[in-house]
Amino acid sequence: MQTPNAAHDTTSTPEDPGKLMTGAEMLLECLHREGVDIFFGYPGGVTLPFYDAVYDSHIKHILVRHEENAAFAAAGYARATGKTGVCCATSGPGATNLVTGLVDALMDSIPLVAITGQVHSKLIGSDAFQEADTFGITRPATKHNFMVRNVAELPRIVHEAFYIASSGRPGPVLVDIPKDVFQARGHYKPVDSIHLPGYKVFTEGHAGQIRRAAQLIWEAERPMVYAGGGILAGHASEELKELVELVDAPTVCTLMGLGGLSSSHRNFISMPGMHGSYASNMGMTECDLLIALGTRFDDRVTGQLGAFARHARVIHVDIDPAEVGKNRTPDIPIVGDVKRVLQKLNKVVKEFEPEMRATNANARGAWWDKIRGWMEQHPYDRRHDDSVIRPQHLMDEIDRLSGGQAIVTSDVGQHQMWAAQLIRFNEPRLWVNSGGLGSMGFGVPSAIGAQFARPDKLVIAICGDGGFQMSLPELSTIATHSLPIKIVVMNNGCLGMVRQWQTLFYNNRLSSVALECFPDVEKLAGAYGFTGRTVDKPHELAEALETAFRTPGPYLLNVTVAPMENVYPMVPAGGAVYEMVLGPPQPVAVE
């Protein structure tokens, strides 16, 4: 069908007009050229022409049951692979439903391209049916966004979107496409290069600063590596491991950085921050050199900023210049790609090794003794109980069965923190969670994306009974594709983290946190044609998990746990990390 603007929708030269295609076909061609083999979405009125083209495409489209979950599934795919995830929604409500997923990806620096349909160009601004100002709404929700005004610019914009999403500090990019642009015909010619003169990607790092950093690293008596999600985004695990081993530095990985250094590595301490380990937070407090790599000094990590790493000089490596110096002014700022910077840094560290290794060797030994002491003094609570399943027991069992190998996705709240504390991640990209935004309802849809990305892997979605009920519609998606996802609901009958704060800071006045009428999981899973089971006895837990993980296809395991357990250690909001509470109230003083 010809549309009025098709006639001048051509960029082609007389010699080579390019292939005549519709906008919808061009979009698919561009997705193919970007290496996309799967995307997650939900069709609607204005994306009809696109989905008509999808019908003939070899690119797999996964029909989710809610657009928010299309974004979460695409993010799960991206988090499990490092590749750009793609999601698609129609105009109006479809696009607005994506917004949470976009902000989630923005906060966690996840490469995502979202395609949204828009009403016909002629109707834009007329309050047409299912019209929303997607371009305006998603501007602060994305790294960048585009509205395509004609079919001629479509291919260029799609490739720009992928480039922006996946380069520099990754993030979500949205492309809004009016219905008539999908329908219009134009001459398609492959886009060979992208020119964004104002889009700066800093990769190399300042050579002088890198040398100074290496010098400081050898001079330190109490070094500490603080590794964030940038290690994963930058594919820098190998380089991190090399540095850590070269200088034998104790290392903490943030919630986003877990798996950046294997949890089983001898130098790995744990996660720092609000619910981080005692040794991690004490290490951060007492270190004299903090080597911050691909991380952003988030408030959940630093606690009270003025008291954070107060004795330490700071080396801060990040690809985003706006992060360097945002919360903590570093002594050595290095703006660059953490992989490239670490490659160079490791070289200089090695160069200095012969003359520097002996320096402070004793002090470093004493530092390790101190850290080991802290680790032994206050390990995480993993205790089991005979009468009731403690949440920590559940995570401990999952950890045992995973052996640091399974992909674990989580929702947000207490279960997320216990999972992060107690489950090992021996490779990057095994731990998939909503860190910055803390979006409930993330665990199940992100597991869908992760399982499609890694069909070889055991994927466990750990949810609370709250977040799980936010993602119920996706049970249908899981059943449709017989995805062997193991959903483990840590069921404490309430919104656990909110309840914990009400208990600790609001005189235990438990307001609107009880989740009554949790569905019968046997019937619920049964309704979708797979197995559901509830377990509430501690001695049955191991077997129940083993059975769930062994059973082919999807499995829903509802684990009734002690309802009033609190996550410890806990740094009260705004407190210094060394003031963490280790258990039912007793602050720890630092001499």
Partner 1 sequence: MLQTISILLENKPGALLRVTGVLSARGYNIEGLTVAKTLDPELSRMTITVDVEERLRTQVIKQMNKLVNVLQATDMTESPSVIREMVLVRIKCAQENRTAVLKEAEIFQARVIDSSLEGFAIEATGVTEKLDEFIDVMRSYGESDVSRSGAVAMSLETKKLRLQPPVPTGAGAQTL
Contact 149, 120 (CB under 8 A): no
Token duo for residue 69:
């979950």
User: Which of these is catalytic: 179, 339, 344, 486?
Assistant: 179
Residue 547 neighbours by CB under 8 Å, 6+ apart: 533
Strand 60-63's sheet: what is its strand order? 60-63, 38-41, 85-89, 112-118, 172-178, 144-147
Which of helix, strand or coil describes residue 559? strand
Shorter beta-carbon distance to partner 1: residue 195 or 383: 195
Closer by beta carbon to partner 1, 323 or else 399: 323
- Which residue in this structure is represented by tokens 């800093």? 202
We find the least distance from the C-beta atom of residue 150 to partner 1, in angstroms, to be 13
User: Whose Cβ is closer to partner 1: residue 166's or residue 477's?
Assistant: 166
- DSSP state at residue 108: T
What is the number of other CB atoms lying within 10 angstroms of the CB of residue 58?
A: 7
| Annotated catalytic residue, options 29, 34, 67, 160 | 67
Distance separating alpha carbons of residues 79 and 119, to the nearest angstrom = 32
Q: Which residue bears the tokens 């520097």?
A: 356
Cα distances (angstroms) measured from residue 10 to each of 6, 13, 17, 120, 499: 8, 9, 8, 19, 60
Residue 474: partners with Cβ closer than 8 Å, 6 or more residues away:
64, 65, 66, 69, 73, 444, 445, 448
**Smallest distance from partner 1 to CB 215, Å:** 27
> Which among 60, 122, 129, 546 is annotated as catalytic?
129
Residue 322 C-beta: closest distance to partner 1, Å: 4
Q: How far is the CB of 577 from partner 1 (least distance, A)?
A: 23
Q: Is 130 a catalytic residue?
A: yes
The active-site residue out of 19, 130, 238, 343 is 130
Quote the least distance from Cβ 337 to partner 1, whole Å.
8
User: Is 67 one of the annotated active-site residues of the chain?
Assistant: yes
Catalytic residue status for 392: no
Say which DSSP state 126 is in. S
Q: Which residues contact 392 (CB under 8 A, 6 or more apart)?
A: 380, 381, 382, 383, 384, 418, 422, 565
Nearest to partner 1 of 145, 421 (CB atom):
145
Smallest distance, Å, CB 339 to partner 1? Answer: 7
Considering the candidates 147, 375, 440, 497, report the single residue annotated as catalytic: 497
Clarify whether 147 is annotated catalytic: no
Residue 202 among the catalytic residues: no
For partner 1, give the closer residue by CB, 35 or 552: 35
Give me the residues that bind partner 1 (CB under 8 A), please. 33-35, 82-84, 111, 135-136, 139-140, 143-145, 147, 159, 162-167, 190-201, 234-235, 320-322, 325-326, 337, 339
C-beta of 166 vs 500, nearer to partner 1: 166
Catalytic residues: 67, 129-130, 179, 497
